[in-house]
Amino acid sequence: MSAADKAQEIELAAWEVNNRARPEVHRFISAEAGYGPEFCEICDAPMPAVRREYGYTLCVSCKSKSESGKRY
Whether 69 is covered by a domain: the verdict is: yes
Whether 27 is covered by a domain: the verdict is: no
Whether 53 is covered by a domain: the verdict is: yes
- The rounded distance, in Å, linking the Cα atoms of 53 and 68 is 24
57: exposed, middle or buried (C-beta count within 10 Å: 0-12, 13-18, 19+)? middle
Whether 62 is covered by a domain: the verdict is: yes
Number of domains in the chain: 1
Q: Which domain holds residue 61?
A: 32-72
The predicted model scores a pTM of 0.49
Whether 41 is covered by a domain: the verdict is: yes
- The rounded distance, in Å, linking the Cα atoms of 36 and 58 is 10
Q: What is the pLDDT of residues 8-67, one digit of tens each?
A: 999 988 888 888 776 655 555 555 555 788 899 999 999 988 888 888 889 999 998 888
